[in-house]
Amino acid sequence: MEWNALLQAYPADQAGIYKAMALRESIDRHMAGMELPVLDEQWQESGAIADILPQLALLLGRVWQDTTGQEPGFDMHAMLENAIIKGQAPRVEGMDAEALQVLVNHAFARLLSLLREKNANLIPAAWTQGKCPFCGTYPRLAFETQSGRTLCCPLCGHNWPFVRVRCTVCDNTDHSTLGYFEAEGLPDKRVYFCRVCNHYLKVIDARNRQVHDAETEDALSLELDDLAHKEGFSEAPQ
């Protein structure tokens, strides 16, 4: 994340941005030395993530202490299990819900990114699907470059090329039901939508300007998400 770009774009949210920045820096620092498993192709079904959670909970307990000055005061492992394995919103009574959300989201993304780096051999060289070949997540954002379109996994950070005229979610390739629109004053950012499954993808044109990383561009184009939702389109499923 390029924090300066974010601070410039959302000056009213400075306090929240600084808080997220401190929390994420602490997460990165504590997770840097994690012991990561060598995965096999069935890792998503075989409970590999559940096996890592105790170690992650221990590290995030230190992050919590680092950033709040206090022991977590709640069961970090149970909270992570509910959020990551069961997919529930990370809530703990009396705790800062926003901080918990940043903690879980960033720690999980960081974990998958580290796992992908360690297990890069599991990623097929040729991949033509719209969801991530490593973690199975659908992208929210893509870059348009001279050589074509590149999809970016929002979770593990893997990038891969993808054809322009095809929906990433339902594989629709019919011109008449695929389309795009852009927001006023943002000519290099577009929403590509599919009228068959009603999902959308944000596409950042990197041909005429220096772009930020995918995560930053995603955070800098929330206006497009609002517009897409107003038009009745949904983000790709998780």
- Report, in Å, the least distance between residue 190 CB and Zn ion: 16
- Report, in Å, the least distance between residue 195 CB and Zn ion: 8
By the criterion CB under 5 A, which residues form the site for Zn ion? 132, 134-135, 137, 153, 155-156, 158, 167, 169-170, 172, 194, 196-197
CB 140 within 8 A of CB 235: yes
CB 114 within 8 A of CB 31: yes
E strand or H helix at 180 = strand 178-182
- Report, in Å, the least distance between residue 235 CB and Zn ion: 12
Name residue 193's beta-bridge partners.
179, 200
Q: Which is nearer to Zn ion, 136 or 148 (CB)?
A: 136
Q: Buried (b) or exposed (e) across 174-201, using 16+ Cβ within 10 A? A: eeeebeeeeeeeeeebbbbbbeebebbb
User: What is the rounded distance in angstroms from the CA atom of residue 158 to the CA atom of residue 16?
Assistant: 27
Q: Which is nearer to Zn ion, 57 or 169 (CB)?
A: 169
Q: Which is nearer to Zn ion, 74 or 108 (CB)?
A: 108
Q: Which is nearer to Zn ion, 168 or 221 (CB)?
A: 168
Q: Which is nearer to Zn ion, 34 or 196 (CB)?
A: 196
Residue 216's φ and ψ, nearest 5 degrees, are -65, -45
- Report, in Å, the least distance between residue 9 CB and Zn ion: 26
- Report, in Å, the least distance between residue 210 CB and Zn ion: 25
- Report, in Å, the least distance between residue 94 CB and Zn ion: 34
Q: Which is nearer to Zn ion, 19 or 166 (CB)?
A: 166
User: What is the rounded distance in angstroms from the CA atom of residue 136 to the CA atom of residue 134?
Assistant: 6
DSSP, collapsed to helix, strand or coil, labels residue 50 as helix
